[in-house]
Structure 1
Amino acid sequence: MSRRPEAFILIAQQEWELNLGSNARNLAVEFSKTQPVLYVNPAMDIKSIFKQIKTAHGRKRLKLALGFGEATVKISETLWVHTPQSISHSINWLKSISLYNFLNERNAKGFFGSLKKAIKELGWKNENSVVFNDSQMFTGLFTKKYLQPLLSFYYIRDNLTEHPYFKFHGSRIEPQTIALADAIFANSAYLADCARDYNKISLDIGQGCETDMYDADFSYPEPSDLATIAHPRIGYVGFLTGERLDIDLLEQVANANPSWQIVLIGPEEIMFQQSSLHAIKNVHFLGSKKPSQLPSYIQHLDVCMNPQLVNALTIGNYPRKIDEYLAMGKPTVATDTPAMQMFLPHVELAIGADGYKKAIEQALLPQNPEGRMAAINCAKGHTWEACVKQIYAVQEQLLTTAVSKETVIN
C-alpha cells in the first residue's frame, strides 16, 4: 500500500451547489492546488425530500439520490463533487438508542457505498486516500469500517453538540467519532482543547478568510441605502440569528446613545424579525447583500462589531467576520470570548452593555496609522493556505510514523 495519498476525500456538511461560503468549500479548493480532491455532498434524507420536492433543486437532488444522472461532476482539473446515490433515514427524533444506532449505521453504509463507487470510477483507491470530515459526526463514526482510508481526519469548526438538532445523539456519538479519527483539526484553541479529551492529536489550525477581496486602501463607492444614514455608524455584517447574536445587548447599545446609528447588514431569522430592534429609530436593517458588495458597506461604517451571544454553542467559535473587518482597516468591537484573544490588541473587547459603550467610544477615536496597518496584516495572515500547511504537517508526521513502525515490524 502506498504511503502517500493520491487524493483527498472531503465529506462536507453543506452542498457545493449552494455556495454558502463554508470552510469545507474553501479547504477543498486549497487542497486541490496540490492534489486531486473529491468534495462529497451530504446524503439526502427522507425529511428533506418532502421539504424540497417542490423546488427544482430538490427534484434534482432526489433524482441523483435514486441513481439517475451524473453523481460525480468535475469542477476543475483537480476537483470533483460527488452527490451520494443514497437516501438516509431521518432518525434524529428517535429516542431509542438501539434503533437509532442500527439506522445510523445503515445510513452510513449507503453513503460510503456510493462514495466507494465514485472513488473507483475516478481511478483512485480508497485505501490510498485521506478523508477530511467536516463535522459529519454521525456518518464519520463508520469511516474506517466502510471506507478504510489511508488516514481519517475530523474537523471541528463549531460546538455542534450544543445545537438542539445534534445534542441528544451527537453528545455521545461525536466523542466516539473523534476518538476513532487519526487526527482532529479545529478552527479555535477552545474547540481543539475540547477534542483533546478524546483524541490527543487535536490541533488548532486557525481560520482562513478570503481577504483578497477586502482592500482597505481602495476607495469603494458608498452604497445608496447606507448613504442616507447619519454618522457615526456602528455596524454588523453577517447572518442575523438570535442563536448567536445578543439581541438584548444590541437594544441596550442602541438606547445608550441615540446618536449612534446601529446598522445591521444581512439576512434575518425569525428572532430578529420579531425583535423590538425594528422599533428603535437608530437601528437600521439593510438586508442581504452579495459578497462582492460587502467591502463597500464595511468601508463606510465607522465602527464594526460582533455582538456575539456567549453560550455553549458559540463560546468556541472563530469569528470569521473579524478578519473581514480588520482587513478593511476598520476599528472593531467584539464580545470577549476565548477565540477573540488571538486578535488582541487589534480589537476592543467588551462584555455587556456598559462594556460595549466604552469600547465603542474608544473605537470612535482617531485611528493610529501603525495600529491600523498592524490590524490589516493580522487579518491578511489568516489564510486557507496556512491552515492546509498545518494539516499536511500532521499528515506527514502520521505517515512517517506508520512507515517507521512497519519497518521495525518487518
Structure 2
Amino acid sequence: MSTIICHSFPAWDTPYVKSTLELITRMSATHRVIFLDYPYTWKDYFSNPHAPKKNMLGGEVRMIETEFGTIEVYNSGPIIPTQWINQPNLFDALMKVNAHLVKPTIDRILKTVNTADVQVINAFNPVFGWYTRKFWKGIPVTYYAYDDLSSTPWAGKWGKTYEGKFLKEVEKVIVSSEGLKKKFDQLHPQVSCVKNGVNLSLFKPDFLHKAKKKLGYVGAFDERIDLELLEQVALAYPDYLIEILGPVKTTSDLPGNVIFLGSCPQDQIKDVVRDWNVCLIPFRKTPFTQSIYPLKINEYLALGKPVVSTDFADLSDFDEVVRISSDTETFIKGIHREKRSDNRLKKAKRIDFASKNSWEARSQEFLQALAS
C-alpha cells in the first residue's frame, strides 16, 4: 500500500465541506493517508474556536477512523501570522521562520514512510509549498488547485507570486474546473482536471416530500453572490421564502423574504433543501467565479431538485440538467419554468447525472492523475 501525504491549506477541523478532505478520505480505502493540517498561527490558537489547541502544542497524531479507512492527522506548532505584512523582505524572512517551525512535523512524518513509495499533494498551499519544498527530500509533489488563488481576497496579496514560483518545483498539477485547467495549461506541462463531487450517502432524494413555496441557495454568502439579482428574484417571488443556508460573510440589504439560516452540518443540508421548489446559484461573473466548479450543484441534483444558475463559469457539463441564465430576466423566468415543468422523469435524470459524480468516482480520477 503506497502512501499519500496531503500538505493542506483546508483545515481538518473546520465544519465546512472541503473537496480536499472528501478526496483523501476516500483514498484511505486503498492507500495510507497522512494529513499535514492547516498551519495554525498563534492568533488562531487564542481566537479560532476550531483550532485543535492540544495537538498544536505537541499532541499525539490523531488517527481518524472514517468509513473508508484511517487518516493520520499531524499538526505543527503555532506559526507567526503574516497576512498583515506588505513588505516582501519581511514576509520572506518570517515565512522562512514559519517553514522551520513546520519542519519538525515534516521530519516526524518522513520517519514513518518509505520515501520511495510516497507522493505529496500540496492542497492549495503554495506559499508553504515553496518554503518547505526542500524538506520533502525529493518526494514528488503534486499541486492541487480548486480556486483561482490570484483572485481570492484572502490570498491575492502573496498567493499569486508564490504559486508561480511553486509551480516550477512541482511534478504535476490537478485542478477542479475547466476554467482552472485553461489557466494552468499555460503555466505547467502536466495538468489534469478532477471536478468536485457529491456525497451520495447524504443526499438521497425523497420523491414523496412536497416543497413548501421556497427557493434556496447552499454555500457561503460572500462576494460571489450577485446581490442585485437576488433582490430582483425576491421581488419577483414575494410569496416565496428565499433561504440562504451557509455562513454569511458579507452585508446585504435584501427584501424581507430572504432568510439567512446560517451554517449546518453536511448531513443536515438535505432536510432544508428538500423544502425548496428550485435551487439557485446566483453568482456574479468575475475572474474568481469563472474558475469555480460549485460543490453545491451536484448536491442539488442528487436530491432531484431543479437548478437555475447564472453563467458565471463553464457549466457546459450541466446543459441537460441545469437551467443556465445569462441575465436577470432569464434567471427569473427560468425559476418559473423549472417550477412549472418539474416532474418525476426530470428528477430521475438529475439524480442519475449526479450519481456519476460521486466523491468515490472523483477520488479514483484523482489517483489516476497522480499515477499518470
TM-score by length of 2: 0.91
The answer as to 2:95 corresponding to 1:99 is no
- Structure 1 residues 152 and 299 mapped into 2: Cα distance closer, same or farther (>3 Å)? same
Q: Deviations over 1:54-92 (max 9, x none)?
A: x6x65x52x54343x31x1212364211011x3322223
Note if contact 1:126-1:147 (Cα within 8 Å) is conserved in structure 2: no
Note if contact 1:41-1:81 (Cα within 8 Å) is conserved in structure 2: yes
Q: Deviations over 1:207-240 (max 9, x none)?
A: 12102222224545x7xxxx9xx62x22212332
- Aligned residue for 1:40? 36
1:329 to 289, 304, 307: 304
Q: Deviations over 1:177-235 (max 9, x none)?
A: 12321111111011121112211211111112102222224545x7xxxx9xx62x222
Q: Deviations over 1:36-56 (max 9, x none)?
A: 10111122223323434xx6x
Note if contact 1:10-1:37 (Cα within 8 Å) is conserved in structure 2: yes
Unaligned 5+ residue runs, structure 2? none
The answer as to 2:270 corresponding to 1:295 is yes
**Which amino acid in 2 is paired with 1:109?**
H
Structure 1 Cα separation of the partners of residues 78 and 46 of structure 2: 12
How many angstroms does 1:321 deviate by?
A: 0.8
Note if contact 1:211-1:323 (Cα within 8 Å) is conserved in structure 2: no
Paired residue secondary structure (2:147): coil
**Which amino acid in 2 is paired with 1:10?**
C
Q: CA-atom RMSD, angstroms? A: 2.3
- Aligned residue for 1:197? 186
- Aligned residue for 2:198? 209
**Which amino acid in 1 is paired with 2:165?**
Q
- Aligned residue for 2:247? 267
Note if contact 1:9-1:37 (Cα within 8 Å) is conserved in structure 2: yes
- Aligned residue for 2:126? 137
- Structure 1 residues 165 and 266 mapped into 2: Cα distance closer, same or farther (>3 Å)? closer
| Structure whose CA Rg is larger | 1
**Which amino acid in 1 is paired with 2:327?**
G
Note if contact 2:3-2:119 (Cα within 8 Å) is conserved in structure 1: yes
TM-score by length of 1: 0.83
- Aligned residue for 2:347? 372
Structure 1 Cα separation of the partners of residues 308 and 136 of structure 2: 46
2:74 to 78, 82, 92: 82
Note if contact 1:6-1:124 (Cα within 8 Å) is conserved in structure 2: no
Paired residue secondary structure (1:88): coil
Q: Deviations over 1:12-41 (max 9, x none)?
A: 223223342211211121111101101111
How many angstroms does 1:143 deviate by?
A: 4.5
- Aligned residue for 1:23? 19
Paired residue secondary structure (1:234): strand
1:112 to 95, 99, 103: 103
How many angstroms does 1:331 deviate by?
A: 1.1
**Which amino acid in 1 is paired with 2:62?**
V
- Structure 1 residues 64 and 212 mapped into 2: Cα distance closer, same or farther (>3 Å)? closer
Structure 1 Cα separation of the partners of residues 35 and 233 of structure 2: 43
Note if contact 2:220-2:248 (Cα within 8 Å) is conserved in structure 1: yes
The answer as to 2:321 corresponding to 1:346 is yes
**Which amino acid in 2 is paired with 1:48?**
D
Note if contact 1:128-1:149 (Cα within 8 Å) is conserved in structure 2: no
Unaligned 5+ residue runs, structure 1? 398-410
Paired residue secondary structure (2:86): coil
How many angstroms does 1:255 deviate by?
A: 1.4
Structure 2 Cα separation of the partners of residues 212 and 351 of structure 1: 33
Identical positions, percent:
26
**Which amino acid in 1 is paired with 2:253?**
S
The answer as to 2:357 corresponding to 1:355 is no
Q: Deviations over 1:280-331 (max 9, x none)?
A: 2433333433333322322221111111122222221111111111111111
- Aligned residue for 1:236? 217
* Residues 343-352 or 142-151, more deviating: 142-151
Number of residues of Structure 1 aligned to a counterpart in Structure 2: 369
Note if contact 1:235-1:303 (Cα within 8 Å) is conserved in structure 2: yes
Alignment of 1:212-227 (within 5 A): 212-217=201-206, 219=208
Paired residue secondary structure (1:39): strand
* Residues 160-169 or 34-43, more deviating: 160-169
- Structure 1 residues 127 and 148 mapped into 2: Cα distance closer, same or farther (>3 Å)? farther
* Residues 261-270 or 297-306, more deviating: 261-270
- Structure 1 residues 127 and 114 mapped into 2: Cα distance closer, same or farther (>3 Å)? farther
The answer as to 2:153 corresponding to 1:172 is no
Note if contact 1:187-1:318 (Cα within 8 Å) is conserved in structure 2: yes
Q: Deviations over 1:239-270 (max 9, x none)?
A: 322x1211221111111342343232333234
Note if contact 1:112-1:147 (Cα within 8 Å) is conserved in structure 2: no
**Which amino acid in 2 is paired with 1:378?**
F
- Aligned residue for 1:10? 6
* Residues 19-28 or 42-51, more deviating: 42-51
Structure 2 Cα separation of the partners of residues 78 and 393 of structure 1: 21
* Residues 254-263 or 189-198, more deviating: 254-263
Structure 2 Cα separation of the partners of residues 340 and 284 of structure 1: 27
